[in-house]
Structure 1
Amino acid sequence: MADDDKRQLIHSLKKEFDAKQAQLRNVDQQRRTVEAQLRRAAYTAAQLDELPDGVGTYRAVGKAYFLQPKAEVMGHLEEAVKGADGELKKLTANREVVAKAAEGLRGELTELIGQLRRA
């Protein structure tokens, strides 16, 4: 393989590697967001759990608040926790796949750069 071909291949692999790194950062940001939602829902549920059952509570929907029975609000919070758990599992699996791909690209780049330096 000629040096120019190797340089072009290195350049294209570097672009792919940078794209994978950006994808990893995006997945990490999404995970942090979902973790924050999970913590918020769990904290709210813990605070509501201390209230008596007959108490009306407010649930935020967008920018509005609606008065609902405590059981309904707790149900929505449980759904939010389950949804966040599922989303975290998906994001973790996705992160592992992207990290493996990025590591493979890193290995290829290292090998090609080593070959180019030896030549």
Structure 2
Amino acid sequence: MADEEKHQLIRSLKREFDAKQAQLRNVEAQRRTVEAQLRRAAYTAAQLDELPENVGTYRAVGKAYFLQPKAAIMGHLEEAVKGSDGELRKLSASREAIAKSADSLRSEINELIGALRR
């Protein structure tokens, strides 16, 4: 393989590697967002747990607040926690796959660079 072809291949692999790195950053940002939602839901549930069952509670929906029974809000928070847990598992699996792909691209690039130096 000629040097110019190797250079083109390295540039192509570098673009792919950069795209994988961008995907990793995106997945990490999503993971942080989901973790924040999970912490927020857990904190709200802990605070509501201390209140009596018959107290009026409000649930925020967008910019509006709706009066609902405490049990309904606790159920909604439990669903949010379960959904966040599932989303975190998916994001972790996705992150591992992308990281593995990026590592293989990195090793390919290093091999090609090593071949050019010889």
TM-score range (shorter-chain normalised) is over 0.9
2:10 equivalent to 1:17 = no
Mapped partners of 2:112, 2:47: distance in 1:
57
2:74 equivalent to 1:74 = yes
Q: Give ranges in structure 1 of 5+ residues lacking alignment.
A: none
2:57 equivalent to 1:57 = yes
Mapped partners of 1:72, 1:55: distance in 2:
12
Mapped partners of 2:93, 2:53: distance in 1:
39
Cα offset, 1:32, TM superposition? 0.1
Q: Give ranges in structure 2 of 5+ residues lacking alignment.
A: none
Identical pairs, percent: 80
Q: How does 1:1-119 map to 2 (within 5 A)?
A: 1-118=1-118
Cα deviations by residue, 1:26-51 (Å, 9 ceiling, x for unpaired): 00000000000000000000000000
The TM-score normalised by the length of structure 1 is: 0.98
Cα offset, 1:56, TM superposition? 1.3
Cα deviations by residue, 1:61-89 (Å, 9 ceiling, x for unpaired): 01111010000000000000000000000
Mapped partners of 1:64, 1:103: distance in 2:
47
Q: What letter corresponds to residue 104 of structure 2 in structure 1?
A: G
Q: What letter corresponds to residue 27 of structure 2 in structure 1?
A: V
Measured on the aligned residues, the alpha-carbon RMSD in Å equals: 0.4
Runs of 4+, deviation exceeding 3 Å: none
